[in-house]
């Protein structure tokens, strides 16, 4: 089975928290917007973005819907990326 190499545009998108943060910023939503729609405490959400904890599966799927990205992208970096990013995950100006 061939090995797959995944190239990340920057360090931010190599972790779950980094991808959550990048997707939220690309969507134009604030932390307050996301936590209100997701129904979690700000401290909980901020811990996800900081890679101190991870969302449960149901919250991860809901978060992906709010941010308009795929759950596989959040988990692995593969799949539908945030709008406004090129194929390498870099922000399009």
pLDDT tens track for 65-83:
999 999 999 998 876 666 6
Q: What is the pTM of this model?
A: 0.74
Model confidence at 93: pLDDT above 60: no
pLDDT band at 12 (very low <50, low <70, confident <90, very high): low
Where would I find the H helices in the chain?
16-27, 31-38, 42-49, 57-67, 71-76
| Contact yes or no for 51/16 (Cβ under 8 A) | yes
Q: CA–CA separation, 66 vs 83, rounded Å?
A: 13
Which CA distances in Å does 67 have to 3, 30, 41, 49, 72? 30, 11, 17, 13, 13
CATH of 14-75, one of 1.10.260.40, 1.10.220.10, 1.10.357.10, 3.40.640.10: 1.10.260.40
Which CA distances in Å does 23 have to 2, 15, 37, 55? 30, 12, 15, 15
pLDDT band at 90 (very low <50, low <70, confident <90, very high): very low
Q: CA–CA separation, 23 vs 84, rounded Å?
A: 10
Model confidence at 16: pLDDT above 80: yes
- List, for residues 20-63, the tens digit of each pLDDT value: 999 999 999 999 999 999 999 999 999 999 999 999 999 999 99
Query: Domain limits of the chain?
Result: 14-75
- Chain mean position to CA 52: 14
């Amino acid at each position: 089975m061939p090995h797959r190499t995944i190239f990340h545009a920057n360090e931010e998108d190599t972790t779950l928290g980094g991808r959550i943060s990048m997707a939220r910023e690309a969507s134009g939503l604030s932390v307050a917007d996301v936590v209100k729609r997701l129904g979690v405490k700000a401290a909980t959400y901020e811990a996800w973005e900081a890679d101190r904890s991870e969302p449960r599966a149901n919250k991860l799927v809901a978060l992906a819907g709010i941010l308009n990205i795929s759950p596989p992208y959040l988990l692995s970096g593969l799949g539908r990326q945030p709008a406004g990013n090129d194929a390498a995950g870099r922000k399009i100006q």
